[in-house]
Structure 1
Amino acid sequence: MPTPPKPFSVLTNENKSHRTKAELKQREEGEKALATGKALKERPRGRVNPYSF
């Protein structure tokens, strides 16, 4: 079983991540949205074909 991804706060405290600034910003917004109850939007790639990974 793989390890779960680290939260945004841990990634920023470690200062050693291979993620881009845009990816980190998206993760931060997603985590804040989960905490506030704001509805999340599904990416178009997942809606068109769920097996296109």
Structure 2
Amino acid sequence: MPRTGRPKSDNPRNIRIVIRFTEEEYKKVKEHAKKESLSVTETIRKGVRSMLESEQ
């Protein structure tokens, strides 16, 4: 019987980090995410990618 479900990723996101924000920082990130129609997680990833790309 064939397997069902999502295929395995070639580059899985299997590293988890915990970060802490002040209420104000979180509010700003959440508002930005809503404005861009992104999740808070994707907003943070996008910011990190942008920072890393600008350093190169």
TM-score grouping bracket, smaller chain normalisation: 0.3 to 0.5
Structure with larger Rg = 2
Higher relative contact order (CA 8 A, sep 6+): 1
| TM-score, normalising length: structure 1 | 0.37
